[in-house]
Amino acid sequence: MGFRDSSTKETVDSEIKGLLIFGSKEWANRELRYAIGVLQGKFVDSLPMGRLQIALYLKDLLAEYGYTWQVRRLENWIHRFQRGDFKDREAIFP
């Protein structure tokens, strides 16, 4: 895509700066933060198994895009969740 004048290019560049590119490192880090929050019960009002399912899905998505560091960190948080470090342990393992 070519730009006809510099003012149009500056406008487009300033609009792009605020966007989060799917599959980027920033995206991966934001997904990691979201998944951790879900496990902690912050973003989703769901049963514990539902929160775990969301975290596992996001872990697979991060792995698909090759973000192994984020996957390992999320696995740590998933294990903490399964161990019962967060609320609702009895709902997961009756």
pLDDT digits (tens, 9 = 90+) for 2-59: 444 444 444 444 455 667 788 889 999 999 999 999 999 999 888 999 999 999 999 9
Structure confidence at residue 20 (pLDDT): 73
Structure confidence at residue 14 (pLDDT): 45
Q: Average pLDDT, stretch 87-92?
A: 55
φ, ψ at 19 (rounded to 5°) = -85, 150
Structure tokens at 46: 């769901």
Structure confidence at residue 16 (pLDDT): 59
Confidence of residue 88 (pLDDT cuts 50, 70, 90): low
Q: Has residue 60 got a pLDDT over 70?
A: yes
The answer to pTM > 0.75 is no
Compute the distance between CA of residue 13 and CA of residue 75 in angstroms, rounded to an integer. Answer: 36
